[in-house]
Homo-oligomer: A and B are copies of this chain.
Amino acid sequence: MPHLHHHPMSAASRFVRLILGEYGFDTELVEVEPWSRAPEFLAINPAGTLPVYMDDSMRAIVGAGVIAEFVDETHGVLKRDRRLTAEDPFERAEIRRLVDWFLFRLEQDVTRPLARERVHKLTMPPSRGGGAPDSKAMRTARANIREHMKYVAWLAATRNFLGGDRLSYADLAGAASLSVLDYLGEIDWADVPQAKDWYQRMKSRPAFRPLLADRVRSLAPVSHYADLDF
């Protein structure tokens, strides 16, 4: 069975789990601490980043965007109206722009610093930067959430799905990222009803269920995390 090296608080890993779930892939999950830099993992991916997909022949596909393209090329193109990207190159470019927005920009501005301060620092040894959270880093990240949520709300209000008319990788990357922030109770949904409505639709999809069952040892999720009617 193929393997996915992932971490429950990695938005990029969650994005790939949603893709595999939507396409009905059976994959074994292998949890990797993103800060561990274990030699056996670096041998697979010298960048040390998550996720990494290993197929049945143990060939590694490294990185969420690369895995997404690989799955599209080897499976998605055959799915016709269930394909998770558009047929038109311009529409595909818009979907890819949004995937990058969530996995790089939101990640850098918000998701990575909050996951680091609130989750990873609790399990990291002090030599790796573990210890008390940096309240200034958390304040900066939280100040950025509001702007990002406004953008998601605008996309959700002006389009049927974030990347266009149909469910696409843009929705999966967005929902993956927001689900990490929602686990941490960092999103004020009352402020952004259109974004909430879209996220509720995403959350109700069968592919989302495993994500809602995710737990990290060090921190329980906010009470509404797995609630479909939050």
Complex formed: what's the CA distance from A67 to B92 in Å? 11
B73 lies within 8 A of A92 (CB): yes
A156 CB to nearest chain B CB (Å) = 15
Q: A69-B92, A89-B70, A92-B69 are in contact. Are A97 and B63 (CB under 8 A)?
A: yes
- A65 / chain B contacts, CB cutoff of 8 Å: 65, 96, 100
Complex formed: what's the CA distance from A108 to B6 in Å? 22
User: Residues of A within 8 Å of B, CB-based: how many?
Assistant: 25
Asked if A105 is an interface residue, CB under 8 A from chain B, the answer is yes
A96 lies within 8 A of B59 (CB): no
B66 lies within 8 A of A96 (CB): yes
Residues of chain A from 1 to 60 with CB closer than 8 A to chain B in the complex: 46-47, 49, 59
A74 lies within 8 A of B89 (CB): yes
Where chain A touches its partner, the secondary structure class is helix
Name the residue among A59, A97, A104, A151 with the largest chain B CB count within 10 angstroms: A97
Q: Nearest chain-B residue to A73 (Cβ)?
A: B89
A47 interface neighbour in B46, B59, B105, Cβ under 8 Å: B105
Q: Nearest chain-B residue to A49 (Cβ)?
A: B105
Between A and B, 30 residue pairs with Cβ closer than 8 Å are A46-B151, A47-B101, A47-B105, A49-B105, A59-B90, A61-B90, A61-B93, A61-B97, A62-B93, A62-B97, A63-B96, A63-B100, A65-B65, A65-B96, A65-B100, A66-B93, A66-B96, A66-B97, A66-B100, A67-B93, A69-B69, A69-B92, A69-B93, A69-B96, A70-B89, A70-B92, A70-B93, A73-B92, A74-B89, A104-B104
